[in-house]
Structure 1
Amino acid sequence: MYYLNKPVSSPKVIYIPKGSINKIITQMQSRNYNVSKLDILLLRLFGSPQSGWINIETTLNSRWDFLYKLTTAKAALQNITLIPGETTYIFLNQLADELKLNRDLLQKEYEQQSPYEEGAFTPNTYSLPIGITEKIVIKILLNESLAQMKNLSIKLFGMYNEKKWLQYVTIASIIQKESASIEEMPLVSSVIYNRIKKGMKLQMDGTLNYGKNSHVKVTPSMIKEDTSTYNTYLYSGIPPLPVCNVSFDAIKAAIFPAKSDYLYFMKSKDAKHDFTSNYSTHLSNIKRATK
């Protein structure tokens, strides 16, 4: 009874892997939870722990309560969707709002854990436990995103080269911001590569929709005043980092651009784009669109 009443400290929400009781206790020990081999025997009396996320509600429990909750508690999950083309700044706002987390702590954890300022998340719908900490939610999202990216890279190239992959994600982020549809993505990609090949600046508005500017309408004054490296009117080539988080469709378009001689595109009245290799035709398309 003395042993069962000893306190056990842990996060409120913890993850229990699938496997034997021995494996579960061993992993908890590796995470510095105050558990021992004796708990293996006790858990066999309580029953097998449930796998997945569990919410034990408090950070300090008696050993009896802690072991009991391992076998009975479950954490409520909430679906969070990261939309392709959304920036991390906006997504962290969404996480803070929907999971009732601290926005500043999310930003701090992202900056500490992520290798990149932008583009480290994979757009998807994630089931996250309510009550999770800011540190763990960022860790989960980054780990799952990296695993998905590595799997796609290995599928396409047979390997994962971090530096090369970041370059593709950066190009894909421009494609994501500029394209009106998945079907257009390879064409937008071809314009990017064609302009770079000819030594032309990209001059694409979407590169200015970074960070807080994700949904801001790009204006002539904004183009003139923004001196960041995202401004492709000011700097040649692609930005040093992605503009946003990108879909696999955009990444595939960045890797496999359409074969074309297009150098310009302009949004038409049907929300799609008119592509052309001739500047005079491009000017006509602009006049038609503005009318």
Structure 2
Amino acid sequence: MSAWESYIKEYKSYLKLERGLSENTIANYVFDIEKLVNYLENTAQDVSPVKIDEQEIQAFIYEISDKVNARSQTRIISGLKSFFNFLIFEGYRETTPLELIEIPKVGRKLPDTLSTEEIDGLIQAIDLSKNEGERNRAMLETLYSCGLRVSELIALKLSDLFFEEGFVKVTGKGNKQRFVPIGASTQKYILLYKESIRNHQQIKKGFEDTLFLNRRGSGLTRAMVFTIIKELAVKINLKKTISPHTFRHSFATHLLENGADLRAIQMMLGHESITTTEVYMHLDRKHLSKVLHAYHPRNKE
């Protein structure tokens, strides 16, 4: 549908130039709009984004409800709302056809976390007699001590390390950069890996500045980091289902449990909205009770 193509093209430019979103994020937004376009084509409905109404959107939502879960439906509806709000903003429409469309209720999944003992156990299970051992220890220490996403970890560069100042520069979603504090012990493990392993590798062209390298001298993939962590979990007989993101969740939870400010955690995690960070407010009730009894003036009598 050529009518849709021109509006989608404008929308993509808006997401890139005005909102500064990454190519991957833009592709996800457009993918959900294309689901609607495909549905209209399959049902022989030649209707433009300017003319489509609530009934047609509702029929589309009903059609996909049997094919995708509530969480995916929520994402698709949110993506379509963003697109039609853009059309209103540009003056192509006066109202959105999704105004009365309800988003399915999705229970917020609380992130899995590891205890400090479990994290120590995973790191201690690394075989340091192998060349990749020093690298893996440095990677896991960095994941946990800086709360990085796996994509941010594998993208870290030597030029991102500002150890004298005690920070690393992290490039997050939408190519947004932030500075995250890094502790002395993690710095020590990174330097040890650099001096004992990385500095002696033959490095492929284009990866001279990449911090964590594979045995062939090029960058690691997300899948490789997942595999390393899964194998360590099996090694220590850890029953939890974990991933690199579990270290990030644990970073935030442990900071919060020890009294860190939610706004500070938001900045370190690189969350655009504080509501995203608030998922970590799932601290167990025992911890909250301890805080109340320790600090509330009525409990000190």
The TM tier, using the shorter chain, reads under 0.3
Using structure 1 for the length normalisation, give the TM-score.
0.22
**Greater Rg over alpha carbons, structure:** 1
TM superposition score normalised by structure 2: 0.22
Structure with a larger share of its residues in helix: 2
